[in-house]
Amino acid sequence: MRISVGEDTFPLAQVFTISRGSKTEARVLTVRAEDRGVTGMGECVPYARYGETLASVAEQIGGLPEGIDRAALAELLPAGAARNAVDCALWDREAKAAGKRVWELAGLARPGPEITAYTLSLAEPWVMRAEARKNAHRPLLKIKLGGEDDVVRLEAIRDGAPKSRIIVDANEGWSADLYAQLAPALVRLGVEAVEQPLPAGEDGALAEMARPLPVIADESCHDRASLAGLIGKYDMVNIKLDKTGGLTEALALRDAARAAGYGVMVGCMVGSSLAMAPAVLVAQGAVLTDLDGPLLLARDRAHPLEYDGSGVHPSTSELWG
């Protein structure tokens, strides 16, 4: 097995606020796992919040030994972007070599489309109202908040998209006192759930607070080892393959979270259809799906995922799996 890694850049359809900075492009790492003339592919998005850079993740991948398999990979690399891209490339290669789909190899039911959220980036209220109005046909909107005038922003969005379901992502941007003040307004405006309202590591206050709507752990939940620390604080977990370290752990986390009584959301970093394809398998039957990465791009990969009124559809074998 030969593992190689390269960088790809995808222009964004518009300027988005990502990780509290304005971005005009998505930079990803693409991994190829080749053996006996069969090549599998995977993609990851290194995330500065977790101390990752394109260079550091590429170095992790480049240091892997030849002949590695998924079991050995889990021992050699921690959960994170590097392991994700390699794990997904190994799944893809195994499926192609066997002439099967990944869902068959994993013992999963045939996947179908899942309704996905569409993200509205943090901006001035009038800008967010205009974006909401433009996307009011979408059934589920995910709203990035975490600044002053968040209630004003939400009211503007609800005015622009009165019929859309809404979830909120605070990106660790609120204090416990501020969240307690905002929660009644979130309920009044029909918000269905709030994602990571408090910083990870400072979220103990959630155990002492009323939770009038479901609270989702994002930065506080990476893999199965995270679940013990969420008890009494969160109602749902957001599973992202760049956090879990690939499809293998994502499926295991999904099953463990459900067994522990947590609702499941499946999310993503901003990447191409190649990054979303494995996550669509994890998202089957999820309470919330947020796999809109390709919808935010001006250009996608060949054989992209299909998005329509039924949601995001599973990939073709030409793309992945």
Active-site residue flag, 23? no
- Indicate which residue of 96, 142, 240, 243 is catalytic: 240
- Indicate which residue of 142, 144, 233, 243 is catalytic: 144
What tokens appear for 30 in the block? 């693409």
Report the C-alpha gap between 125 and 316 in whole angstroms: 39
Largest CA distance in the chain: 60
Nearest to 255 by CA among 243, 267, 241, 239: 239
Nearest to 315 by CA among 118, 113, 68: 113
Bridge partners for 215 per DSSP: 194
Report the C-alpha gap between 177 and 190 in whole angstroms: 21
Active-site residue flag, 240? yes
Burial of 179 (0-12, 13-18, 19+ CB in 10 A): buried
DSSP 31: E
**Three-class SS of 47-95:** CHHHCCCHHHHHHHHHCCCCCCCHHHHHHHCCCCHHHHHHHHHHHHHHH
Report the C-alpha gap between 292 and 16 in whole angstroms: 13
173: three-class secondary structure by DSSP: coil
Report the C-alpha gap between 260 and 110 in whole angstroms: 25
Which strands sit side by side in the sheet containing 263-266, from one edge to the other? 118-120, 140-144, 165-169, 191-195, 215-217, 236-239, 263-266, 288-289
Give catalytic residue positions.
144, 240
